[in-house]
Amino acid sequence: MTLSFSFAAGTTPNIARTAIINVGEIVVYDVVKDLLVSSRLMRDGIPCHFTAAVAAGFAATLVASPVDVVKTRFEVRSKLYFQFPL
C-alpha cells in the first residue's frame, strides 16, 4: 500500500500543473496571433506564429511557476513522510 501511494504522490499536482500550462499556452497563443493578424502588425506566417509562441511560452512560465513551487513542496513533503514515518 505504501509503495503504490508513494509512487503516485505527485500525480494530482502534476496533472493540475499540466492542465494550467496547456490552457494558458493555447489561449495566449490564439489571442496573440489573432491580435497580430487583426491589427495588421504581422501577416499570418512563420514570424507571426513564432511571436505568438514566444508570448505563449512566457505566459505559461509565469502561470506555471507558482504551481511548480507548490508541486515541488508537496512531493518533497510526501517523500520525507515516507522516508521517516514517525
Residues 27-82: pLDDT tens digits? 999 999 999 999 999 999 999 999 999 999 999 999 888 878 877 777 677 655 55
Q: Position of cell 514517525?
A: 86
Neighbouring residues of 56: CB distance < 8 A, sequence distance ≥ 6: 24, 25, 26, 28, 29, 32
- Distance, in Å, from the CA atom of 6 to the CA atom of 10, rounded to the nearest integer, reads 8
pTM exceeds 0.75 for this model: no
Which residue type is seen at 2?
T
Mean pLDDT of 7-36: 86
Per the structure, the complete domain to which residue 76 belongs is given by: 2-83
Tell me how many domains the chain contains. Answer: 1
Nearest residue to 14 via CA among 63, 68, 59, 57: 68
For residue 38, what pLDDT is reported?
Answer: 95
Is there a contact between 79 and 5 (Cβ–Cβ < 8 Å)?
no
For residue 3, what pLDDT is reported?
Answer: 47
